[in-house]
């Protein structure tokens, strides 16, 4: 319940324009490392392999707490919706003046009709994408809406696409 209240509060700050970011140079590798540490117990319990690059992580212009929330939400969603014995891969890089972060999973893909609505508040998609008991935490369908709002507040963008065996979320932010 506390997580749901926190999510609602965060969304209200985003939607009201009350979110004030203090941008600094944030090493993306450190944020990802922390998010992986938090997500690993759930992934281990579901026999999901977390794969992350060991080097090459760019530094981004971001507010660290909000960026940490973006990364944690994306990883948690990927682990929740990936079937047991699947894989979640997180990697990043830099292109010209922006950095990118990719979280890809082996969830089997998202119905094409759901892709444009995925970042809508309270959208949870088909029943197969609704997590069940023991998935780590209840969700009100707010996580991806928060990701979208926080990325936009950073002046970045987030998109999702299906891959051969799952889906990929791609976040683009200004490089530091």
What does the pLDDT look like over 5-45, one tens digit per residue?
Answer: 676 667 667 776 767 889 999 999 999 999 999 999 999 99
What is residue 122's predicted lDDT score, i.e. its pLDDT? Answer: 74
106-115, long-range: CB within 8 Å, 24+ apart, which pairs?
Answer: 106/82, 106/165, 106/166, 107/78, 107/81, 107/82, 107/83, 107/166, 107/167, 108/83, 108/165, 108/166, 109/162, 109/163, 109/165, 109/166, 109/167, 110/160, 110/162, 110/167, 112/162, 115/160, 115/161, 115/162
Question: Among residues of the chain, what percentage have pLDDT more than 90?
Answer: 69
What is residue 4's predicted lDDT score, i.e. its pLDDT? Answer: 61
Instruction: Express each pLDDT in 84-119 by its tens digit.
Output: 999 999 999 999 999 999 999 999 999 999 999 899
**What's the structural domain count of the chain?**
1
What is residue 110's predicted lDDT score, i.e. its pLDDT? Answer: 93
What is residue 131's predicted lDDT score, i.e. its pLDDT? Answer: 47
Q: Which helix (H) or strand (E) is 29 found in, with range? A: helix 28-45
Q: Using the 8-state DSSP alphabet, how is residue 170 labeled?
A: E
What is residue 135's predicted lDDT score, i.e. its pLDDT? Answer: 47
Residue span of the structural domain in which 113 resides: 2-174
> Quick check: 41 and 175 in contact, CB under 8 A?
no
| CATH code, domain carrying 57 | 3.30.565.10
What is residue 71's predicted lDDT score, i.e. its pLDDT? Answer: 98
Number of H helices, E strands in the chain: 4, 7
Residue 30 token pair: 């450190």
**Following DSSP, what letter does each residue of 107-145 receive, concatenated?**
S----TTTGGGTTSTT---SGGGS--TTSSS---S-HHH
Give CA–CA dist 147/69, Å, rounded: 8
Instruction: Express each pLDDT in 112-168 by its tens digit.
Output: 999 998 998 877 765 444 444 444 444 567 889 889 999 999 999 999 999 999 999
What is residue 18's predicted lDDT score, i.e. its pLDDT? Answer: 64
What is residue 148's predicted lDDT score, i.e. its pLDDT? Answer: 93
Instruction: Express each pLDDT in 48-73 by its tens digit.
Output: 999 998 888 999 999 999 999 999 99
């Amino acid at each position: 319940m506390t997580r749901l209240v926190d999510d609602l509060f965060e969304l209200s700050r985003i939607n009201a324009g009350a979110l004030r970011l203090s941008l600094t140079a944030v090493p993306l590798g450190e944020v990802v490392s922390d998010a992986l540490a938090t997500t690993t117990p759930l992934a281990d319990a579901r026999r999901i392999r977390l794969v992350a690059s060991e080097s090459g992580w760019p530094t981004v212009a971001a507010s660290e707490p909000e960026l940490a929330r973006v990364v944690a939400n994306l990883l948690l969603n990927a682990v929740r919706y990936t079937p047991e014995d699947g894989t979640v891969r997180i990697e990043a890089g830099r292109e010209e003046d922006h950095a990118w972060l990719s979280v890809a999973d082996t969830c089997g893909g998202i119905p094409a009709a759901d892709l444009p609505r995925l970042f809508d508040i309270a959208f949870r998609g088909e029943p197969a994408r609704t997590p069940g008991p023991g998935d780590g935490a209840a969700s009100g369908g707010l996580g991806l809406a928060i990701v979208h709002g926080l990325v936009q507040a950073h002046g970045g963008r987030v998109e999702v696409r299906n891959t051969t065996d799952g889906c990929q979320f791609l976040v683009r932010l200004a490089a530091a």
